[in-house]
Structure formats: structure tokens, C-alpha cells
Structure 1
Amino acid sequence: MQIDQQQESPWRGKRGSDGHLAQRALEGDESAFEALVQRYSGPLFSFICHFLGDYDQACDILQQVLLQLYLSLPGLHLSVPLKPWLFQVARNRCLDELRRKRAVTFSELEGGGEEGEELPVAVESIADGRPLPDELAERHDLQRLLLEAIDSLPPRFRAVVLLRYTAQLSFAEIGQALSMPEATAKTYFQRSKPLLRASLTGQVRAGTPS
């Protein structure tokens, strides 16, 4: 399936629901499917690229996700938004790619976990202390530092933070995408904040001449 995003679509800029566009696509309206592609390609690519850290791989995975959407349309529940399903597919494709290329343990990524699950002492002991220094944005590229900090998070936290920051999913949608309770997604996000703060502060200190 070749999606030409350069062509002008009659659905461009329209706010049709996912279900309406999907139904039109099932009826043979190719421009409706193109509208879905335009709606979700950007946030999906951003999530995949940050998850994998590889631009070329992200391009390939995005095409796989869009192809899976195209093939799965007849069996999807069109009364609900497609976004959580799409990001779940994207995450699973990313995990498949990482499994194929790296000999690492993915138990943390695959387990949704429980809200009351104990974390390592080192994680719990990091205080959610002072705000980041105001001069951080002036001395460093904050976006780059933030992405590096996210990459350093435990995998189960990383997926939640990426979906929240890069895809702007709600916690309910994150829970659907990662097959975990909404409360667990909120807990993981909150527990990631002191880790992000510690990582960012460490990067600032490392880059500041003594």
C-alpha cells in the first residue's frame, strides 16, 4: 500500500470522526483513508522515532502500522476513536523490532504491573525536589535534553511518558494502548517525574564548567 501524502485530499482539514472516515474508507473512499493517515501520521511517527531512536526504522514501522490499519478496518469497532488502538499497534511493532535487533529482557515493557507494585529503593528514594533551574532552557536545548532523559527512564515508565508527551494521549488512552489500568498509567507518569528531574539536573551539571 502506497500512501501519497503530497496529494490534496477532499477530507483535508475536515473534522470527521475516526469512525465516519473509516466507514467511508470501507465503502471505497480512498480520500477518507488518506485523511486518517494525515490525522495520525505525525504523532505516530514522533512516538515511534523516539521509542526506537532511529529515523529510518521509524519510517518503516509507521508504514507497517498504517498498513495494519488499512487491513484491520473491517474488524474494528468504528464507534470508538482509533488513537489508542493505533498507538498500541505502534508500540507492539516497536517491541518486535527491538526484540529482533537486541538481546535484552523485555519483561518490564510487557508487564502492565499493578499500581501498588514495589519499585527499586533507588527509584523511590529520589525526591521530587526543587524545580529545574530557570537557566536550563537558556544553557541547553531543552527538547534534546528531555528526550535523552526520557530514554534513560525504566522501560515501563518510558512508554507512558512518550505517549503522554509525544502523542498527547490521555491517561485513559495510554491505559488502553499499554493494556494497563488508567490509575497505573497515572502512577507511572508521576513516578517518572523525579527521575526526569534528576536526569536533567545531572545533564546540566555535567555540561556546566566548574
Structure 2
Amino acid sequence: MDEMDLDLQQMIPDILNGDTARFELIMQRYQRRIFSYCYHMLGHYSEAEDCTQEVFIKTFRKLDQYNLERPFEAWLYAIASNCCIDIIRKRRLSKYFPVLYRSDEHNRPVDQAIEDTYYNEHVLRAMSKLTPEERSLLILRCVEDKDYKEIADIMQQNSSSLRKKFERTAAKFRKYHAHIQGGRPDGSRQPQSRPQNHIS
């Protein structure tokens, strides 16, 4: 348990005993990171703002359910993940994911190929074919740069199974992205066939 979690172990009982002003310190500490995660999940600034606010409202309401043995950040990200997934499911069609796919000729892990650089039409369409849980896994690993132990704490899953799930998800993403681009999963382009004249 790091110094930050030890500090929170002192703050949370105070908050539960009525010192709600201390909760603002928690918000200040995590607000930027939670907003960043929500923004990458949702791809919409105002939605991410609303979702971030909802995350902290739920965190405050559920604070008495928090297990002090669990890393607080993992618990907070889990709440954020659930909030984002709820929004995505309500949309039915999710279109905006501000991540960039960069071709990798050596087919290295996709966490070297996704960055939060700008909107990319091909990426948006490829990401939309993944489940919300798969998107969350990619974003936590590739954009938030969290290791599998941290992701396991957030998603409440075994880290080794998450690693395998990530590899499968990465392969799916590469396949979808390559298909949309008209290329191969390694980023190369499919050879274009010459147009043929058809006589009707």
C-alpha cells in the first residue's frame, strides 16, 4: 500500500464521520485522471464532464462500502468504468474514441499502437465493434498506461486472464482496423486489383 492510500485511510473515516470538506481533497487529487479516462471512453467533452461528476457523487454515496484493504484508485476507476459503460450501452451506438491506431509492421502489442492523439475515423469505427468492457481494457492498458495488476484491481478479474483477454482484444482491434482501412492487420495495404470491364 503506497503513501497515498495510507493518507486516504486517515481521510475516509473523517469524511464518514462528517468532515465532508475532506472529500474535496480526494476530488482534487483524482479529478483530472478520472476525467481523462471518461473522455477517452466516451470521446465527448461535456459527457465526460457529466460522467466525472457522477463518478464522484457515487463515490461519496458509496464511501461507507469502500474496503480499506483495496487500493482506492482501483475502486474509483471501477466506478468510473461502470458509469462509462452505462452511458455507452444507453447510446447503443458509440462513435467517438479519441485514440490513434499506428501500424506496427512487427505486430507488437497494441499498447504500442494506440495513443490519445486525435480523432481518427478508422479507429472510431474499429473501436465501435468492441464491447464496452473491451474498450475499457484497451484504454486502461494503452492510454492510462496501467499494468495488469492495476487493471485486475479495477476490473476485479485475474491479471493473467486479463493479459490473455487483452491479447485477444488487441487482435480483434487490429483485424477490424485493417479491414476498415482496406489493409492487413500488420498495417500494410491490400494490393488493389485492376478494374475489370463487365459487359451486361
TM bucket, shorter chain: 0.5 to 0.7
The one of 32, 37, 47 equivalent to 2:27 is 37
Distance 1:205 1:75 in 2: 50
Q: Is 187-196 or 87-96 further displaced after alignment?
A: 187-196
Mapping of residues 150-189 of structure 1, within 5 Å? 152-153=126-127, 154-155=130-131, 156-189=133-166
* Sequence identity percentage: 24
Distance 1:26 1:189 in 2: 37
Distance 2:61 2:32 in 1: 20
**Paired residue type of 1:70:** F
Q: 1:79 and 2:53 equivalent?
A: no
How has the CA–CA distance of structure 1 residues 82 and 146 changed in structure 2, closer, same or farther, with 3 Å as cutoff?
A: farther
1:144 match: 118
**1:149-204 CA distance string (max 9 Å, x none):** 4772423432112112333433123123223321122123334455666748x598
Distance 2:105 2:155 in 1: 29
SS in 2 for 1:144: coil
| Structure 1 residue 31, shift from structure 2 partner | 4.4
**Paired residue type of 1:25:** I
How has the CA–CA distance of structure 1 residues 151 and 167 changed in structure 2, closer, same or farther, with 3 Å as cutoff?
A: farther
The one of 42, 54, 58 equivalent to 1:64 is 54
The one of 33, 46, 51 equivalent to 2:36 is 46
Distance 2:122 2:10 in 1: 39
**1:9-59 CA distance string (max 9 Å, x none):** xxxxx9453322222322333443122112221121111111111111111
Gaps of 5+ in 1: 1-13, 105-127, 133-140
Mapping of residues 118-133 of structure 1, within 5 Å? 129-130=105-106
Distance 1:180 1:21 in 2: 28
**Paired residue type of 1:182:** S
Cα contact 1:26–1:74 (8 A) shared by 2: yes
**Paired residue type of 1:181:** N
Which TM-score applies when normalising by structure 2? 0.63
Distance 2:124 2:149 in 1: 21
Distance 1:99 1:142 in 2: 22
Q: 1:23 and 2:13 equivalent?
A: yes
**Paired residue type of 2:58:** Q
Which TM-score applies when normalising by structure 1? 0.61
**Paired residue type of 1:172:** K
How has the CA–CA distance of structure 1 residues 93 and 36 changed in structure 2, closer, same or farther, with 3 Å as cutoff?
A: same
| Structure 1 residue 79, shift from structure 2 partner | 3.2
